Amino acid sequence: MPDEEEVQPAPLVCPQCDHEFEYVDGQQHYTCGNCGRSIGNLAAQFAYSRGYDAFFAGQRIYLAIPPNRRTRISHADQIRDSTKLFIESYSAIQEAFQSYLANSQREKAIEMMASISRLFMQNGFVSPLESNYWSTLMYEQVNQKELDELTHKLAQSPAGLSNILARFSWHLRKRQLESALVKVSRRIELLEQNIAFVTPPHIRKWPSAKIGPNHA
């Protein structure tokens, strides 16, 4: 995670093309200057921004406490402050996921939710099932990124004797990742069924064509 000096306020981002945009106070709608699509999820953008800022504020407080002192009364105020910020972040990101986020935001939001849910499970704030859900999404995300990188590498690397061993290794790993992702996708679907969301969140990656202007 970024250090304190590196953390910047979360930008507002077009969910269609990941292009950052500036917001004018009081504005209700925005048309992306990059792709020309109408952005109708400003409320989700603000929720994500709140969640992002609260997460890193809470993390700075929490990480400033030595691990072996986090249960001591002397640090109770810091723990309470960090917990309050993590709760704010968790709630805001859940709200943001009621709409489609840009892929860059979705990936960061999953990272934050996985981190917070692990901490919350230890303190009994969320169930192991819910924490497992976010951790599994994080696992899927990491493996999907590796698969995307391998696919790109295979497409760019010329076939030939000089790199036949490397390409064989990449193909083997690609098949392993593809198999693992099929299994983890089924696991996520099962977890979602068991959690029984009242309003299912838009967490999984969707192609822009499926989002459409009414969901942006």
Tell me the one-letter amino acid at 204.
Answer: R
What sign results for the dihedral spanned by CA atoms 94, 98, 101, 106?
A: positive
In a domain, 62, yes or no: yes
Quick one: 6 and 85 in the same domain? Answer: yes
Quick one: 94 and 132 in the same domain? Answer: no
Quick one: 137 and 188 in the same domain? Answer: yes
Q: What is the pTM of this model?
A: 0.81
Strand partners, 30: 39
pLDDT: is 108 or 199 the higher one? 108
Structure-token pair, residue 17:
């093309």
CA distances 148 to 170, 176, 187, Å, are 12, 13, 21
Quick one: 5 and 68 in the same domain? Answer: yes
Quick one: 77 and 135 in the same domain? Answer: no
> Tens of pLDDT along 74-131?
677 888 899 999 999 999 999 999 988 888 899 999 999 999 999 999 888 999 999 9
In a domain, 87, yes or no: yes
* Residue that is last in its domain, among 81, 100, 119: 100
By the 10 Å C-beta count (0-12 exposed, 13-18 middle, 19+ buried), 179 is classed as: exposed
Quick one: 40 and 83 in the same domain? Answer: yes
In a domain, 162, yes or no: yes
Quick one: 131 and 96 in the same domain? Answer: no
* Residue that is last in its domain, among 48, 65, 100: 100
In a domain, 213, yes or no: no
92: containing domain: 1-100
C-alpha distance across the termini of the chain, in Å: 28
Quick one: 91 and 132 in the same domain? Answer: no
Most confident of 7-16, 96-105, 142-151, 157-166: 142-151
Quick one: 95 and 143 in the same domain? Answer: no
Structure-token pair, residue 94:
């859940």
Distance CA 62, CA 48 (A): 21
The candidate with the shortest Cα–Cα distance to 75, out of 88, 66, 85, is: 66
In a domain, 108, yes or no: no
Angle between helices 76-96 and 42-63 (to 10 degrees): 160
In a domain, 214, yes or no: no
Quick one: 14 and 95 in the same domain? Answer: yes
In a domain, 139, yes or no: yes
* Residue that is last in its domain, among 58, 82, 100: 100
CA distances 125 to 130, 148, 163, Å, are 10, 35, 51
Distance CA 90, CA 117 (A): 8
In a domain, 114, yes or no: no
> Tens of pLDDT along 49-72?
999 999 999 999 988 888 777 777
Quick one: 64 and 155 in the same domain? Answer: no
CA distances 18 to 15, 37, 152, 204, Å, are 6, 12, 20, 16
How many domains does the structure of the chain reveal?
2
